[in-house]
Every structure is written in C-alpha cells, then in structure tokens.
C-alpha cells in the first residue's frame, strides 16, 4: 500500500479509473470489475460528476451512481478511498463557491456517502478568485464532507499561484494533481508541472496511464482492428516511437515472466519521482487482472524505457 504525500490516505498502488462505468461498461459489468479490484485489496477509485455526460442519453453522474450502488450493496464505504471531481459538468460548471457546494451535495447523494476522500478541481476556472474556491473547500472540509482537495488540468503557473494563496491565507492546499502522463505522452507533464509538483512536495496521480489502451500491447504494426471503443484515441500513438516503446516493453515483459505490458507501463509510472499512484481503467475482469499486477522494474529497465520514450 502507498500513502499519498501530504495526506493520510493509504491506498492500493493502482487507482481504478471509472470513466467507462455507465458507458462502455454497464452497471453489472462495472460491479464485476469493482469486485475483482476489491478482491485484490484495491481500495482507491477515481470518478467525476461529469462521467458520462458525453454519451448520448446520459446527463453525467452515471459513474458515481454505479460506484455508490456498489458500495452500498457491499457495505464497504469505510474501506474505500473515493476521489471525484467538480467544474466540468454541463449543469455544474466552474469553481464558484455556490457551484462547489451544490456539486458536492449531488456527488455525495450519487455516491451514497457522507464524505469524499479526495475532491478535485477538474479544471481551472480563471473567472473565480482562487480565494473563493479554496475557502469553499475549507468549509466542506470543516463540515466533514471532504477530506482532501486536489487539482486536475491546471497550468503549472496556476497551480503555483493556488499553493501560494493557500499558504498566505491559511486556506486548504491542493495535495495532488491529476494530469496526463504516460510513456508515450511525457512532454506535457514533464515540461513544467512536474517541477511545481516536486517544489511543493505533492504528487501526480496521472490519468491515461496506459495511453487509452495503446500500452496494453493490443496495437501493433499492421493491426487494423482492435476490440475497443477507445481504439480511435489509442491509434494516435501508433507511430514509430510508439511501436519502439512497445518493443522495449516486450523485452522487459519477458524478463518478468511475460507480465502484461499494461503492468509494465504502470510500473514505469510508479518509478517516476513525482508520481504516487497511477490511474487505469478496465471494462472487464480480464483487463483488470492485467493492470492490477504491480511490477517493480530494475533501474536498467527504467532507463531503457526512458531512452526509448524521450
């Protein structure tokens, strides 16, 4: 288990993403995946109020609702660490105090919970003073409805400003970021945000840890059909560099008893100095069993992946 820096949240080394719950995976399939994750001592689930409003006929909140029904039926809320988010839902946009209070209540109702362990600002909102946003989180923390706060999709300079405002005004501070980071997409995070995260001693809990499935190894030169609703997004990584990374991962996999490539990709993320816990999602129990494996890479293997992915 891992303790997220600047918190007392003790979590499994894999955070289970749930952005496909209620879309690619229906409630029964989602509950099967959650059961399998829990059977491996998994306890850290990431969701958001906006999941899955982009699906026709959906309005958002479907993922939270499925997680809430699962926790209620398994009577396990006290053993789970739940992260959700505010600011990107169509009917609950932004980071005003009024919106945060309303969105939090709605998320709590869907999750069938009295509290949220980790509450993210899902994206920055430059129209609202940061003091207002952070003070609103402070009220929720004081009320016991939120334990910790974090930031996602911020620019580095905006995160640094938020941390400065927190310190100067005795307001809650973001304890983590959730940013895009994986072996085939390193630049966005490493060119700025990683430095700010290190400066404040917090950590990244990165999303798209296996690059929308590309790093699972399903995508190979000449392969034209892949059974995945994310195939279109994953194929953007099907480049010479992407396939070179896959080839290097194949070699490392063989040295680890043919470990799943997804587990190798997540192992590389865990080895990065500012990463605490990577996020990955699974539509089926079979996929869950691939990403749940915790592989400890050697320094030579990490360096090999660093070279080929630079």
pLDDT in tens, 187-230: 999 999 999 999 999 999 999 999 999 999 988 886 655 555 55
Task: Supply φ then ψ for residue 294, to 5 degrees.
Answer: -100, 110
> What is residue 146's three-state secondary structure?
strand
Q: Any idea what the Cα angle at residue 186 is, between residues 181 and 190, rounded to 5°?
A: 95
> What are the CA-CA distances from residue 97 to residues 100, 121, 135 (Å)?
5, 12, 8
Are 11 and 18 in contact, with CB atoms under 8 Å apart?
no
Q: Is pTM, for the whole model, over 0.75?
A: yes
Residue range 224-252: mean pLDDT, rounded = 80
Residue range 99-110: mean pLDDT, rounded = 98
Report pLDDT for 178: 98
Are 192 and 181 in contact, with CB atoms under 8 Å apart?
no
Q: Of 3.40.50.10320, 2.60.40.650, 3.40.605.10, 3.20.20.100, which CATH number belongs to 2-178?
A: 3.20.20.100
> What is residue 121's three-state secondary structure?
strand
Q: DSSP H helical segments within 172-291, as ranges?
A: 187-188, 194-200, 231-234, 240-255, 261-270, 285-291
HEC per residue, 4-49? CCCCCCEECCCEEECCCECCCECHHHHHHHHHHHHHCCCCEEECCC
Task: Supply φ then ψ for residue 286, to 5 degrees.
Answer: -60, -45
Residue 117, pLDDT > 90, answer yes
Report pLDDT for 224: 52
> What are the CA-CA distances from residue 199 to residues 117, 156, 167, 251 (Å)?
24, 11, 14, 35
Question: Measuring CA to CA, which residue among 7, 305, 2, 302 is closest to residue 175?
Answer: 7
pLDDT in tens, 253-277: 999 999 999 999 999 999 999 999 9
Residue 73, pLDDT > 80, answer yes
Report pLDDT for 236: 85
Q: How far is CA 35 from the centre of its chain?
A: 19
Q: Could you list the active site residues?
A: 51
Residue 90, pLDDT > 70, answer yes
Tokens standing for residue 227: 């059974």
Averaged pLDDT of the chain: 95
> What is residue 109's three-state secondary structure?
helix
Report pLDDT for 55: 85
Give me the residue spans of the domains in the chain. Answer: 2-178
Residue range 64-85: mean pLDDT, rounded = 98
Report pLDDT for 222: 67
């Amino acid at each position: 288990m891992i303790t997220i820096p600047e918190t007392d949240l003790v979590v499994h080394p894999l955070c289970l993403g749930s952005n496909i719950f209620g879309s690619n995976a229906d409630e029964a399939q989602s509950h099967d995946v959650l059961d399998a994750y829990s059977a491996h001592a998994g306890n850290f689930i990431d969701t958001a109020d906006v999941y899955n409003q982009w699906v026709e006929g959906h309005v958002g909140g479907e993922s939270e609702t499925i997680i809430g029904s699962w926790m209620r039926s398994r009577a396990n809320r006290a053993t789970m660490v739940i992260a959700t988010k505010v600011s990107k839902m169509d009917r609950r946009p932004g980071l005003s105090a009024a919106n945060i209070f309303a969105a939090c209540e709605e998320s709590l109702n869907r999750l069938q919970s009295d509290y949220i362990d980790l509450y993210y600002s899902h994206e920055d909102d430059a129209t609202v003073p940061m003091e207002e946003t952070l003070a609103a989180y402070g009220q929720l923390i004081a009320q016991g409805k939120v334990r910790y706060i974090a930031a996602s999709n911020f620019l580095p300079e905006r995160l640094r400003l938020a941390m400065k405002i927190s310190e100067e005004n005795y307001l809650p501070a973001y304890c983590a970021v959730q940013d895009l980071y994986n072996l085939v997409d390193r630049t966005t995070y490493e060119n700025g945000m990683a430095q700010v995260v290190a400066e404040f001693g917090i950590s990244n809990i990165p999303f798209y840890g296996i690059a929308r499935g590309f790093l699972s190894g399903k995508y190979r030169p000449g392969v034209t059909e892949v059974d995945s609703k994310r195939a279109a997004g994953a194929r953007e990584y099907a480049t010479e560099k992407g396939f070179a990374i896959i080839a290097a991962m194949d070699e490392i996999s063989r040295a680890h008893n043919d470990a799943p490539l997804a587990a190798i990709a997540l192992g590389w993320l865990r080895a990065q100095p500012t990463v605490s816990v990577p996020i990955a999602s699974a539509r089926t129990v079979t996929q869950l069993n691939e990403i749940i494996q915790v592989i400890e890479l050697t320094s030579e293997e990490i360096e090999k992946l660093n070279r080929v992915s630079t």
